[in-house]
Amino acid sequence: MSNLLTQRQAEELHKSLIAYLTAAGLTNTAASLREELNIGDEFDDATRKKYEGLLEKKWTSVVRLQKKIMDLESRNTTLQTELDTATPTSLSRRNQDP
């Protein structure tokens, strides 16, 4: 198991994967994964419903946050360039009160 996830996070990921595969109609794949992960009868319909959609929700959140990071990095680069090209006199004029 990966050291990046806690035990609880890994279990939630596994259950989310199984719920996703089941919802996508890949029941044989979901059953194989359940068997390999030793997730038995405790993963019933109620548990599946709880985790259904969670993987998609987290995936869209990651994509949205990646876009936001890229936008902020671009803005940071623009501001840094603006700061680097500013002359000392223009900086002193900006800092004076009108």
Same domain? For 44 and 57 the reply is no
The per-residue pLDDT for 37 is 93
Same domain? For 46 and 5 the reply is yes
Specify if 58 maps to a domain. yes
DSSP states along 5-17: S-HHHHHHHHHHH
Number of domains in the chain: 2
pLDDT tens-place string over residues 6-60 = 999 999 999 999 999 999 999 999 999 999 999 987 888 898 899 999 999 999 9
pTM of model > 0.85: no
Query: What is the separation, in whole angstroms, between the first and last Cα of the chain?
Result: 62
Expressed as residue numbers, the domain containing 28 is 1-52
Number of H helices, E strands in the chain: 5, 0
Sequence-distant (≥ 6) Cβ neighbours of residue 14 within 8 angstroms: 33, 37, 39
